[in-house]
Amino acid sequence: MTGRKRRKYRFSDRAQGEAAYVEADREASLTRMGLNAALHEDADWTGRKGSYRAALYRATGAAGGILLWTFAPGGQAPYTSVHYFDDWARDIQGFARNGSPEGLELCELVSAATVARQRAWDADKAARAQGGAA
């Protein structure tokens, strides 16, 4: 055993490794759902402001729906990510408090998406009421 090297682990303990696995699994599941929605469903809302584009799917679903947003600055490759709407809105509002033009653009997108999500909820509620009354 003297000739064997001790393995180096990425995490200091098992709990950290398991927590990282759970987070990676959550992100992979969310990305799968977002890709599936983008390919097979119509967006409940789409918006564009400056270099940002966003599409909201399943607005009446859990966590406020799934949001795909793309940042496409001029002359650079676009970057797209998938988020639960509620998480994204909270993170962007925190980021946008710095008063930068990009932050203000993102705040406007969050506001428009929030209004669209509320309209989708209201329409879903009305449809359920119509179905229940029949």
Each residue's pLDDT, cut to its tens digit, for the chain (134 residues) gives 566 776 666 788 888 889 999 999 999 999 999 999 999 999 999 999 888 899 999 988 877 899 998 988 888 899 999 999 988 888 887 777 777 777 788 888 888 988 999 998 899 899 989 875 54
Question: Where are the domains positioned within the chain?
Answer: 14-133
Taking each helix axis from N to C end, the angle separating 85-95 and 101-133, rounded to the nearest 10 degrees, works out to 150
Strand ranges, E, within 29-122:
45-49, 52-57, 66-71, 79-84
* Confidence at residue 36, expressed as pLDDT on a 0 to 100 scale: 92
Q: What is the total residue count of the chain?
A: 134
- pTM value is 0.75
Token readout for 102 is 């990009």
